[in-house]
Amino acid sequence: MRNILIIGIGSGNPDHMTVEAIEALNRADVLFIPDKGEEKAALRSLRESICTRFIRQPGYRTVPVAIPKRAEAGADYRGVVDDWHERIAASYCSLFETELAEGENGALMVWGDPALYDSTLRIMERVAASGLALDWQVYPGISSVQVLAARHRIPLNSIGGPILVTTGRRLAAGFPADQDSVVVMLDGEQSFGAVDPEGLDIYWGAYLGTPDEILLAGPLAALSAEITRVRAEARARHGWIMDTYLLRRRPA
């Protein structure tokens, strides 16, 4: 049976790798490295630098994984994502079968944490359902949400209050009336700009954990346009951007 190690590598700082994740990395015979094209070459390079830094013995192999592009979601978001996951699963299945021998360990290095707004675990279930004899283990990583709170030196929740973690797509419908602390991920459209800013503070961060890290915090009304400008400039400069933010209702 083939075995896959799904390793959370944190949000950009190799120092955030856990000891458990490093030990798992050192058991890998084959490392499957996602390749999303030149615009995200920095993400591929970081994975490679983590291997160079933490793997103690030579002899492992790296195999590039071409990640297909997702179609525009349109009205059928779930259908588009389902098709995209199916194509990625087919790619993984083919590579695991041809590049990983029976009894070997393969590794997938997942940005941030595999359990928080990442689809690797769902895709692995599809690969297993294809009939390929496969097992896998999951090693958590430091998420961008954790780094965001640490950099801004804030707790994510208000005293005794819950935290909602959601996406920009969901936030576009409005700030939830029954929430005080909302963490927003995967917001390519800057949905905070469509939210009524009255009484809300924003804690925003991009490229968290990397040398290019950017932080902004303050009243949403005062910062919305500034974050949009800074984000656009950073994305143009680097060719990609990963950002997340916390919206918090100001105490009455």
Q: Which DSSP letter does residue 15 get?
A: G
Asked if pLDDT for residue 67 goes beyond 90, the answer is: no
Per-residue pLDDT reduced to its tens digit, 193-235: 999 999 999 999 999 999 999 999 999 999 999 999 999 999 9
pLDDT (mean) for 72-78: 77
Contact 135, 1 (CB under 8 A): yes
In the chain, which residues fall in CATH 3.30.950.10?
144-249
Superfamily of domain 144-249: Tetrapyrrole methylase, C-terminal domain (3.30.950.10)
Share of the chain above pLDDT 90, in %: 80
The per-residue pLDDT for 73 is 72
The per-residue pLDDT for 127 is 95
Strand partners, 109: 7
- Tell me which residue has tokens 């925003």: 204
User: Which 3 state secondary structure label does DSSP give 9?
Assistant: coil
Per DSSP, the residues of 202-250 read: EEEEESTTSTT-EEEEEEHHHHHHHHHHHHHHHHHHHS---EEEEEEEP
Give which of 23, 19, 32 is closest to 56, Cα–Cα.
23
| Cα three-residue angle 225-187-205, rounded to 5 degrees | 65
Among 66-70, 77-81, 213-217, the range with the most confident prediction by mean pLDDT is 213-217
- pTM here is 0.91
Q: Tell me how far apart the alpha carbons of residues 188 and 109 are, in angstroms, rounded to a whole number.
A: 23
Averaged pLDDT of the chain? 93
In the chain, which residues fall in CATH 3.40.1010.10?
2-139
- Arch. (CATH architecture) of 2-139: 3-Layer(aba) Sandwich (3.40)
Per-residue pLDDT reduced to its tens digit, 132-170: 999 999 999 999 999 999 999 999 999 999 999 999 999
